[in-house]
Amino acid sequence: MLKRALSIAEVALSATTPEAASDGFFAAVSDLGASYLQTRIYRRPGIPLTSTAHYAAGGIVRRIAPEIWQPGGAAFDYVCFENNPLLEAIRGGQTRYRFSDFAPRGKATFGAYWDAMGEAGIADAVCTTSYGPNRAIASLHLGFLDPDLSPDDVLSVQFAGLMLTEHLMTFAAPSDDSDIRLTDRERDTLAWVAEGKSDWEISVILGVSETTVRFHVDNARKKLGAVNRAQAVARLAAARML
């Protein structure tokens, strides 16, 4: 999974502008049926998070969408202002999810939501989000024509997307990767997390207890300034340190 994610993100990670990174990423996932992309670099509002406040934060880097899918259009405005279930994910500090996790396709409440999304050619979408200092946020919304992407495809795209948003974050607040000081064991445990191994599996591989595994992973996460394991893996991979 990590190898495939890196191959998807490779062009984006070498891009020298956020626009080029976004375009390169979209090209890399075109064979999976990607139909829409939006990337943003912005600061989370310091006021209560509402649809209007979230949109007003701006920071759009790139939006690849049909001409009809623009601010002021009925479908666009409905999704962004009248029925935006994704605010819950931001409030909860989620780093990766599918839109259908928060707007189940079979639920009548979201029938109009998915009808509106259909105007942008989106049957489902993947979001990845990186959180930085001073409320900085970099996000990717990636829409697909097929609502039934395989779990492996979704996971690869999500981890590649997190690498992209970590790279986008450097344009908002460039960091010195030389400041990252992980021990060999911290790096090893994160590498196995990236391969999808459980704490128990990693403990067997490394010959240590599960408690020790969790200790090293959490130390690495804190050193990397990540909100969870997925962001820690992506941050290390984006820095070419994994």
Query: pLDDT by residue (tens digit) across 200-240?
Result: 998 888 888 888 888 888 888 887 778 788 888 887 777 66
Q: Calculate mean pLDDT across residues 139-166.
A: 94
Binned at pLDDT 50, 70 and 90, residue 179 comes out as: low
CATH topology (fold) of 2-172? Beta-Lactamase (3.30.450)
Q: Calculate mean pLDDT across residues 177-189.
A: 75
Alpha helix ranges (H) inside the chain: 2-14, 18-28, 51-56, 74-77, 87-91, 99-102, 111-118, 151-172, 184-194, 199-206, 210-224, 229-238
**pLDDT top residue among 78 and 195:** 78
Q: Where are the domains of the chain?
A: 2-172, 177-238
Q: Which pLDDT score, from 0 to 100, does residue 180 have?
A: 66
Phi, psi of 137 (to 5 degrees): -140, 135
**pLDDT top residue among 196 and 110:** 110
Residue 1 has pLDDT above 80, yes or no: no
Q: pLDDT, tens digit, for every residue of 72-121?
A: 889 999 998 889 999 898 888 899 999 999 999 889 999 999 999 999 99
Residue 14 has pLDDT above 70, yes or no: yes
Q: Which pLDDT score, from 0 to 100, does residue 11 have?
A: 92
Q: Distance between terminal CA atoms of the chain?
A: 14
The type of residue at 117 is M
Residue 242 has pLDDT above 80, yes or no: no
CATH for the stretch 177-238: 1.10.10.10
Q: Which pLDDT score, from 0 to 100, does residue 174 have?
A: 52
Least Cα distance to 19 among 59, 62, 60 occurs for 62
A 10 A CB-CB count for 109 gives 10
Q: Which pLDDT score, from 0 to 100, does residue 173 have?
A: 59
Phi, psi of 64 (to 5 degrees): -110, 110
Model pTM score: 0.76
A 10 A CB-CB count for 150 gives 10
Q: pLDDT, tens digit, for every residue of 48-82?
A: 788 888 888 889 999 999 988 888 889 999 998 88
